[in-house]
Structure 1
Amino acid sequence: MIELAGRKILITGAASGIGKATAHYLAERGASIVGLDLNAVGLKKVEEEFALNGYSFLGIEANLQSDNLEEAFMTAVDDGIKLTGLVHCAGISSIVPLKSLSRDRLHTVMDINFYSFVELTRLYSKKKYSDGGSIVSISSLAAQLPRAYELPYIASKAAMNAAIPCLAIELASKGVRVNGIMPGVVDTGMITAQQTDAQKQFIENMTRKTLLGAALPTDIASVIAFLLSDESRMITGRIIPVDGGMFL
């Protein structure tokens, strides 16, 4: 089993979905978790769940569209212990036809899904917040599977995929590894809350084409744990599909 004792990991989107599953998965392996999310109620619930199991969790209510995410990092290391990992799970979906797509909507999706990832990485790489470590960002197989009505979401994930190797090259000298994961169909709230019948049908079709079926959030969390651990010390600048064999 992957061992993460002594690690301190900051996770965005920690109140639900893949982020919450990852927080639990990493804590079970010894990591201390700092969870960022806009959902204060959800963070409180995670905190209570961690307390029952004796795990370390610090919940920080934060808006990824804020111009001052550094406050969250300052709070994260207020105990004098630096971060050893960052996992960017937070993100929003967007299903809207081009004729109805506004500049503001496009900007919002890019801001939460992509711009915040770059800012989080910039802050993490500061010596006062970390001494090396590993960054993992959740992309999507949608970045390689274009479809109508999802331009903002797909563009944001494609931008993330393009940024990861650039960041990995720049941060290698600081001992920071940067990788991404492209899940296929994952059984999370984001999927079950799809807005249209056509989108639901698309997800069902993709699931049928996937050799191993839809993934659970813990299936993604296990790969994140690997990328955060020393077992993956020679992997950086890569975007890894975790798609259950969708394209085979």
Structure 2
Amino acid sequence: AGTTYIFSKGGGQITYTWPPNDRPSTRADRLAIGFSTVQKEAVLVRVDSSTGLGDYLELHIHQGKIGVKFNVGTDDISIEEINAIINDGKYHVVRFTRSGGNATLQVDNWPIIERYPAGNNDNERLAIARQRIPYRLGRVVDEWLLDKGRQLTIFNSQATIKIGGKERGHPFQGQLSGLYYNGLKVLNMAAENDANIVIEGNVRLVGEVPSSMTTESTATAMQSEMSTSVIETTTTLATSTARRGKTP
């Protein structure tokens, strides 16, 4: 199950902070983690963008169900597994992928849940507006709209990964194992005293825990299950690009 930490009563937190000049902006994300708990409410993992940007991704337990909520520039988008019982104290693995505003979630061997945000009337309004835009400005407007749409699929300037949910008011209690996020094995890094990681509160390392499922193997399996479009869009963008289109 990979490196395992126990979060005990009162909660704790493991925080990974990207160096300021190395904060990734991503069009797609992959998260996998193993856990065991009996809680009905808890935040397991939260990734936040740089201060003031407001993009985030949060893996949580709400009313005893595991789910993910994220925002990459428009509205909060949620995806939840309502059928699997996950707060039974047994070991479970959850895998999440995001591509733009689309997302998938899988718990253990349950069917993969897909979430595709519904379209809106923007295209109809745009078609009407375009008739009134002077021809010479059409290309400029099209480029601006394309850039705006592109920005609203990007998780901009990721700054921190916080594990344990202590500061979110719902501290996790139980075991977390083998966290994988976009190539970073954060719990492994914590066990190796990585300089970018701070551990606080009631958290302790317990090492390897035997399990039939591992987040590493399931993350690999998940790659083959993901559509090629998701894999193709898993490109890290330069963070020097301005955050255009995120605010009116």
Richer in helix (by share): 1
Which structure ranks higher in relative contact order (CA pairs < 8 Å, sequence separation ≥ 6)? 2
The TM-score, its normalising length taken from structure 2, stands at: 0.28
Compare CA radii of gyration and give the structure with the larger one: 2
Richer in strand (by share): 2
